[in-house]
Amino acid sequence: MKTWTGRTPALRGERHFDRPMRCFAQRPSSLVQMLEEAVARNPQGEALVCGETRLTWAALQERIIAAAGAFAERGVDVGDRVALVLGNRTEFPIAFLGAAWLGAIAVPISVREQKPGLEYILVHCGAKVVVHESELAERLPEGVLRLLPSDLESDKPVEARASEEEETAAILYTSGTTGRPKGAMLTNLGIVHSSMVFEACLGLDRSTRAMAAVPLSHVTGVIALVTTMVRVAGTLIILPAFKAKDFLHLAERERMTYTLMVPAMYKLCLLEPDFGRRDLSTWKVGGYGGAPMPTATIEELAEKLPGLRLLNA
């Protein structure tokens, strides 16, 4: 196992949320500005891969603006909550960033959440609209405007709406294991800083090809993968559901360079009979979290993938 590496950008003292903080001196002012910078730096670079879908950064921005238009046509405005009950699919980052484009607040929710939990979260956050998988319709409460992923299209151009650094851009709910789920508010400032930390400490850049094998609705998927790839203008490769065989096939085919998973997922990959025959030479950064990584797993990965930096993220 290796420690985090890389150099963080210069810091300076600032005051936010009524307290002093150390902040990156040079940074985007919002998630939307971070997206606009990615498109400007790498317009024809590959931004997203999911199944047969491949989008450049310029094309992804068009889809994001279309989603924002679809939200706006349904009355979504600055500060409104847009709930996302979506699995790992193309429309997740499009809807997430489409909400930000309007100055609205994205509320990602696990597709495993059952009816009581969904009702509580949607009412608690005051969701204006919910984008959901079609098969989950019966779990949703009445009275909330519903959209399917196929509804995220509009011909109406929508300009990006300015959003302040301290304003909330997303709300992620806890699992509720010790009581009611609690909504953790992620500000533009926090999202930008976290994304820049991953960029610097993991040494990521526009050549990074990141595999999203964990749920995108989790903070790991949202920050370590979606918004971090926005920050570096790299490529997000979306795996709809984790199966070790599918992961290894996609990692090899798409020349994956980085992912972040739980230790058990690494072990499942190592148990695949053809692991040693896969060409995973481009895999340079393997982040993990959620549980300790067993020493035996670390040693086996070091033996079979000597070029991999394994990092506790």
Beta pairing, strands 105-108 & 127-132? unpaired
Looking at the fold, whether 224 and 251 belong to one and the same domain comes out as: no
> What local confidence, expressed as pLDDT, does residue 286 receive?
97
Name the percent of the chain lying above pLDDT 70.
98
Domain stops at, among 189, 206, 232:
232
Mean pLDDT of 192-202: 96
| pLDDT above 60: residue 2 | no
What does the pLDDT look like over 48-79, one tens digit per residue?
A: 999 999 999 999 999 999 999 999 999 999 99
Asked if the model's pLDDT at residue 177 lies above 90, the reply is no
Instruction: Give the separation between CA 16 and CA 306, rounded to whole angstroms.
Output: 43
268 and 198 within one domain: no
Residue 59, helix vs strand vs coil: helix
Strand order in the sheet with 105-108: 145-147, 127-132, 81-85, 105-108, 168-173, 183-187
4: in domain: no
Neighbours of 232 (CB within 10 A): 23
| Same domain, residue pair 131 and 272 | no
Co-location of 299 and 156 in the same domain: no
147 and 277 assigned to the same domain: no
- Of 113, 134, 135, 133, nearest to 124 (Cα)? 113
Quote the pLDDT of residue 1: 45
* 207 within some domain: yes
Average pLDDT (103-114) is: 97
User: What's the mean per-residue pLDDT of the chain?
Assistant: 95
User: How far apart are alpha carbons 248 and 256 in whole angstroms?
Assistant: 10
6 falls within a domain? no
Question: What local confidence, expressed as pLDDT, does residue 272 receive?
Answer: 98
| End residue of a domain, out of 232, 263, 298 | 232
Same-domain check for residues 188 and 74: yes
How are beta strands 183-187 and 168-173 bridged, if at all? antiparallel
pLDDT tops 50 at residue 81: yes
- How many domains does the chain fold into? 2
- My answer on whether 22 and 161 are in the same domain is yes
Whether 169 and 254 map to the same domain: the answer is no
Q: What is the pLDDT of residue 6?
A: 58
CATH at residue 290: 3.40.50.980
CATH number, domain of 178, equals 3.40.50.12780
182 and 222 both lie in a single domain: yes
Per-residue pLDDT reduced to its tens digit, 272-306: 999 999 999 999 999 999 999 999 999 999 999 99
Is residue 201's pLDDT more than 60? Answer: yes
Domain annotation covers residue 175: yes
Examine residue 117 and state whether it is found in any structural domain, yes or no: yes
Expressed as residue numbers, the domain containing 266 is 242-312
Decide which of 232, 251, 283 is a domain's last residue. Answer: 232
Task: Tell me, yes or no, whether 149 and 179 share the same domain.
Answer: yes
Residue 4 binned pLDDT confidence (cut-offs 50, 70, 90): low
Position 112 in a domain: yes
One domain, residues 134 and 86: yes
Whether residues 16 and 143 fall in one domain = yes
